[in-house]
Amino acid sequence: MEALSLSIPIISVTNSNTNYISLSASTNYASLSSLHHRSSSSSTRPFTLKKTVVRVQAESEDFELKQVRDMAAAKKRWEALLRDEKIKILTPKEAGYAVQLSNKPLLDVRPSNEHNKAWVKGSTWIPIFDVDSGLDVGTIPKKVTNFAMGGWWSGMPTLSFDNSFLPKVVEKFPKDAELIVACQKGLRSLAACELLYNAGYSNLFWVQGGFDAAEEEAFEGTVPLKFAGIGGISEFLGWTDQQRAVAAKEGWGYRLVFSARLIGLFLVADALFIGAQQIGRYLQEIRTH
What does residue 208 show for φ and ψ, rounded to 5 degrees?
-70, 125
Query: How do strand 159-161 and strand 129-131 relate by DSSP bridges?
Result: antiparallel
What is the separation, in whole angstroms, between the first and last Cα of the chain? 85
Tell the burial category of 272 from Cβ atoms under 10 Å away from its Cβ (0-12, 13-18, 19+).
Answer: exposed
What is each CA distance from 62 to 58, 132, 203, 213, in whole angstroms? Answer: 6, 19, 37, 33
CA atoms within 13 A on the CB side of 15: 5
Q: Which of 90, 181, 183, 225 is catalytic?
A: 183
Q: Which of 75, 37, 4 lies closest to 165, judged by CA?
A: 37
CA atoms within 13 A on the CB side of 100: 13
Query: Which 3 state secondary structure label does DSSP give 166?
Result: helix
Residue 193 annotated to the active site: no
Catalytic site positions: 183
